Structure 1
Amino acid sequence: MGQQNSKYGGSQNDPEKGVIPQNTKKIHGLSRILTTKAEHRREVAVQGWDKHDQNMRNMQMLKGLFKQLDPSVMKATGEVRGEVQLSYKYDFKRHLLLVKVIKCRELRSKDLRSKMSDPYVKLTLNPDPVGAGERRTAVVRQSNDPVFDEIFAFPLEESDLSDLKMVVQVMDADIMGEDDFIGEVVVEMNTFNFRESPFHTAWYSLNMETDLNVSGDLEISAEFQLPSSLFVTVRRAHSLIARDEGKTADPFVKLTVTGTSSMFQTQVIQDSLDPEWNETFEFDVTQEELSNRYLILHVIDHDPGTSNDSLGQVVVDLRTFDPERRLHETYQLSDMRNTDLLRSSWSRNATAQEFREALIAHASSKHPNFLFAEHSGKKVVNVSCRKAGARGTIRIIDGIPVK
């Protein structure tokens, strides 16, 4: 049988007839090149992840700065995440309210240096009729899904339950400083009927911290004029409580109607807990739109030295407003920032949208520069926003942003 030729006509054993001979030096050289390229790709990948983490930290700093610049935006876009599972039972024989803290899930670490929290749960009554004080679980180290399974007893009469709130706070333990707030749930005890159902177990979504010390009321009036004018008059407020104990306030009122592009604010009244404004503002709303709109009023303590403080909110559902009659009411102020109604209403507000667009623009252009540059040592940066009438502060220690 004759010698078999290759596809290209050459002999498989004859290097001069189409078969490339093996070259050991070329093979080793090619191997070194491929190995070097692979190592380079791995190095670039590692550096890329480091850069990604740095960009994420920079974005957190930028978001934190924007949240400081406008209280209304902060209340609408708070970055609280996670849930806590609780179980309630009332012991009628021993007159004890039993609360079991079972576990949490999907918590957000507050420490930029670590992706894991050191969480614990803190329980308090509001008001506290028997001086039960604060109860705490043990700290679970390095977990965003901690399991506690701890039971706490509060000595209470059954009649006291209807007026009580249980404040449940999830905290991140910090051995180097003050513990960080992760999230909070305020549970109304009057929502439970222990006579009919002895146990109540549920998951609760964590919210921003609720100020239960908000007090006072706000008097307003409103009237509608065809074709599309809603006139709102901010009259006065009574019995406000200043955020700084022993001090007075410099209050003003921000107001908006959801679905419109208008936000107004009254003049600042200096040194008063019973301010009077009597200022009228016009919103462009048709009569048909009233049933889908809310009037939101936010009383704020003006503080030129630091960020403004919230003194409480009022939300008026305009479905209850009769356009043929004049409204004149006094509403109790409360901290409503964790209600779905207020959060969604602020999110539709044009000012909040403007802040979000500005945030995206700053992030895309990596501006201001100090947020996206490497730092060493200590640095304190103060930023003010004239339109929001607020200031923000960022402290950077060895490249790590802190409160």
Structure 2
Amino acid sequence: MALTLKLPGADGAVTNYALVGMPLSRPSAPPQFNRIAYAAAHVVSDPIRETDPWGKPAIDWETTMAFRHHLWSLGFKIAEAMDTSQRGMGLDWAGAQELIRRSLAEAATVPGADLACGAGTDHLAPADARSLDDVIRAYETQIEFVEKHGGRAIMMASRALARIARSPDDYAKVYGRILSQAQNRVVLHWLGDMFDPQLAGYWGSNEFGQALDCVLAIIEANQAKVEGIKISLLENSKEVELRNRLPADVLCFTGDDFNYAELIEGDGQKYSHALLGIFDAVAPSASKALAALAAGDVGTFRSVIAPTVPLSRKIFEAPTQYYKAGVVFLAWLNGHQSHFSLPAGMQSARGLNHYAEIFRLADQANVLDQPELAVKRMKNFVGVYGIEP
């Protein structure tokens, strides 16, 4: 007998929904991929200890680390302390330092575990930046912290730099200085303003072609220090253009949570690696799909990954910066945490109908790992909004 529950629709009507999905089996050992696959991981709040959720969110470190073990067990590398962890939207630099320290120490206990850590300038309020040197010092502080603890850096886009820079040359100065000092090769981070409106005009222009020329010039001038670049513009043609123009030894990491399936598969000549927030939410599906692709089974890759794309597009719909709420919602439905709350109360950024549609799409994509638990929790959730079982 199918599991059913009452869910609201976009028209406001409440109807019965019968689940159709089947949970995926888990691999007995972490699978091998032929694409580098980073999952940008969320942090788990601690609502019981929290007294000031907007000002000083409490973090459940034990459950946060357990989720990283979940991702490692499925073959993923972890992109730590990135925007998925609510950097600048609930997790401040002090919290990020604790997260980076704990995750690097935890990775050392897991054979084969790997992660790279976000390093930016978020401890410098954009309004407090008076010069490019202020931005450089802020980047130096965070990258030095990551490297001191044995980590590799992902050089996150900077709100302060976006505010103070006046030309592509300003970006070239800041990035050139930081990359010249880095101990290891760095992954750059091109995050569109749909993810963070304060990053509008990054790389010195609102025009894609001019921004692309700027970032390519930076990469070519510092090629020995750049492992790759993550691009998150939610427009696959722009990623393909960047990918086609990168130097041969610099990797393209898709951050396109709308079009990742086709970008990872590639066009027969080139493909993108992955650094994605959606992999946090659909990890078992993405793991199975990537393992199939590595085995040459493109049909299975497509059949498993394709149903996750409508789900991802819903989670990342505008205002895109609130996607973290959908990611954590699925972590709660799937039993990875005992509550649905986010640092800074971010769960309130989306409405009931949004979450109801995520539930439907997750079921149809075979992303609900424990359907009975998911239904129980969803019934409780919609009950808070006045929908009786």
Task: Give the structure-1-normalised TM-score.
Answer: 0.24
- Bigger RCO (CA 8 Å, 6+ sep): 2
- Compare CA radii of gyration and give the structure with the larger one: 1
More strand by share: 1
More helix by share: 2
